Amino acid sequence: MNKINTQSKNIIIILWLVIIYFLLKYMIPYWNYIIYPITLLVTFLHEFWHSLWALITWWSVYSIEISSNWAGLATTSWWWRSIVLMWGYIWSAILWNLLLYIWVKKQKYSELVIYLLSWIMIFTAVFWYSWITTSIILFLISFLFIFLAKYTNYDSIILQFLWVASILYIIEDFNVWPTSDLAKFSDIFVIFPEFIWMYLWLFIVLFITYLNLKNIFKK
């Protein structure tokens, strides 16, 4: 009975967070200023996954740039270019779903994950430096995360909102956010035009999210 009650509570919380996200976005003027840190974080992790896959394929990362207008750029050298391009978008979705899973099913690891994300941002700000604005943004977000985890009692619900909002943001902006990656990717794999790849990527992200939610709430 305890597990059922906890499960129901988690479902209700997630549903409320989804409603809050859409209220903020479509009902409240200037919602972008409220969601601003989320969009910056989503942009950063998109570029970070490009960089990580460049490293995995034995090539180099020179810098990561995050602009205050939410634009991002990872400057890398690569060999397996298609993997580096594609996984910026898809791995971002995998990560946010993993974070949501950890929050619901493995809460004892939540604080550790927050610190890990913070140190990734600090590492990027220092060692993959592009310009001062990027470093300031990453330092501010990482310090905010550390403060929430260490000094407040609201870190769980705030961070769960971050995970839910980020997944929704990725799904909603499927035809905007990864556009430059899709253009380059479709130049490599010309068997489909760009808009077909766009919907294939969207399907993969939706399917990953579906499997994650099914696994979280399977009982």
The number of domains in the chain is 1
- Longest pairwise C-alpha distance within the chain: 54
> What's the pLDDT band for 190 if we cut at 50, 70, 90?
low
What distance in Å separates the CA atoms of residue 146 and residue 154, rounded to the nearest whole number? 12
Structure pTM?
0.75
Distant-in-sequence, close-in-space partners of 162: CB < 8 Å, separation ≥ 6: 38, 41
Rg over CA atoms, the chain: 18
What distance in Å separates the CA atoms of residue 205 and residue 199, rounded to the nearest whole number? 10
Q: pLDDT tens, 102-138?
A: 877 777 777 788 888 899 999 999 999 888 888 898 9
pLDDT of residue 83: 60
Token pair of 209 as six digits: 């999210």
What distance in Å separates the CA atoms of residue 131 and residue 136, rounded to the nearest whole number? 9
Domain that residue 72 falls in: 2-216
DSSP string, 179-201: HHHHHHHHHH-TTS-HHHHHHHH
In this structure, are residues 78 and 54 in contact, taking their beta carbons and an 8 Å threshold?
A: yes
